Amino acid sequence: MQFVVKRDSLLKSLNFVQGVVEKKNTLPILSNVLLQLKNGKLSIVATDLDIIFYDEIDNVKIVREGSTTTSAAILYDILRKISSNSDLNFDLKSENKLSLKSENSDFNLLCLPTDNFPAFTDEFEGLAITLDNKRFLKLLNKTKISISNDDTRHYLNGVFLHLTEAHERNFLTGVATDSHRLSSSSLEITNTSDFNSLILPRKTVFQLCSLLTESSQQLTMQTSENKIKFTLGKIKLISKVIDGKFPDYKKVVPTVNDKTLLISSSDFISSIERVASVSLDRKEGVKLMINKDNVQLSVNSANSGEGNEKIKAEFSGENLNISFNSKYLIDIASEIEDKNLKMNLKDSVSPVLIEDASDTNSYYVIMPMKI
């Protein structure tokens, strides 16, 4: 195998590979990236056995076809330190040695044979559903903040994607919850015939967000019984889905919260961050003392002190005191697109519904804290 490729083209692909390859070295081959020259193209493949990343580079000068695998982290680190737009000259000298030359640099990288690399297929029988790239990214960004990190309830370790219907329109809806907060966001779609509900794993969600942030290519999605494939131009991301049943989340969405708080989203975030500065624990509770025309925020830490601040607001109910995890509030408020955040409350202990006037297809639920 021998070829020449531009540094920037390969580096861009290897940047995405870093989020996929196995870091724990349980199987050395999973720390490697597969480089394959075939039919005039360079293919780049990485996997951790749960996710497969595949990319193709056309602009490559092929001297001799072939394939090998080498350390994804080491190759990425070398390329980051080579001058932009340089030519990279690769030559597989033997089964376990890959030569890389560029400008005045010369490297010999250790390889593992491709026979050890996990086989994969990207053939999916279902019809591809076309999604708006940026709208799907927004859906993932708004829901991923509530993904649970508790591995004992694995079915909460991702975003639940399913079809919903409202006003005779079809939507793809994403929901995530860690049982303390819940996020829901929807986007309208037309082709719904071939989609079954699934739970997209946390790692896949974050990797997909990275890809969508960097790409303006059309996004398509295909599902099989236990896998899902996303295609962005020449890039393919194939992932296992979580084997489990997502809970009936609609049961926890408040429907009778009749007290409304309207508050500036940016002022609310800044105020929480300031008063929470007195505590090193960002999960410390922030107390809201809500009045008709203002909210007083308070954080009281036994170890470091107390912080208080008052900001303007509009409240439709009687005075109410309620407390929340400050980080959860900031996470939710940061996703609100409207200048004002709308909080629907019932009392100091019941779940609170948070809405965004600029995105009526998204909402959040947060549980109060006892402090």
C-alpha angle with apex 92: 2 to 43, nearest 5 degrees? 60
Query: Exposed/middle/buried for 139, CB within 10 Å: 0-12, 13-18, 19+?
Result: buried
CA 304 to chain CA mean position, Å? 34
Say whether 253-366 and 129-250 share the same fold. Answer: yes
Contact between 79 and 88 under an 8 Å Cβ cutoff? The reply is yes
Q: What are phi and psi of 181, to 5 degrees?
A: -150, 160
Each domain of the chain, given as residue ranges in start order, spans 2-116, 129-250, 253-366
pLDDT at 8 over 90: yes
pLDDT at 25 over 70: no
Measured distance CA(348)–CA(320) in Å, rounded: 7
Pairing between strand 41-47 and 51-57? antiparallel
Q: Which DSSP letter does residue 349 get?
A: S
pLDDT at 174 over 80: yes
- How much is the pLDDT for 176? 98
pLDDT at 168 over 90: no
Cβ-based neighbours of 192, under 8 Å, separated by 6 or more:
129, 163, 170, 172
Q: Which DSSP letter does residue 23 get?
A: S
pLDDT digits (tens, 9 = 90+) for 215-273: 888 999 998 888 999 999 999 999 999 999 999 999 999 999 999 999 999 999 999 99
Band (pLDDT 50/70/90 cuts) for residue 352 is very high
pTM of the model: 0.93
pLDDT digits (tens, 9 = 90+) for 101-120: 998 899 999 999 999 999 88
Q: Which DSSP letter does residue 151 get?
A: G
pLDDT digits (tens, 9 = 90+) for 131-160: 999 999 999 999 999 999 998 999 999 999
- How much is the pLDDT for 179? 95
pLDDT digits (tens, 9 = 90+) for 185-194: 999 988 766 6
Beta-bridged to residue 343, according to DSSP, are 261, 354
CA distances from 72 to 14, 76, 229, 301 (A): 7, 6, 22, 45
pLDDT at 367 over 90: yes
- Classified by CATH at the fold level, domain 2-116 comes out as DNA Polymerase III; Chain A, domain 2 (3.10.150)
Contact between 309 and 275 under an 8 Å Cβ cutoff? The reply is yes
pLDDT at 284 over 80: no
CATH superfamily of 129-250: DNA Polymerase III, subunit A, domain 2 (3.10.150.10)
Contact between 240 and 118 under an 8 Å Cβ cutoff? The reply is no
pLDDT at 53 over 90: yes
- Classified by CATH at the fold level, domain 253-366 comes out as DNA Polymerase III; Chain A, domain 2 (3.10.150)
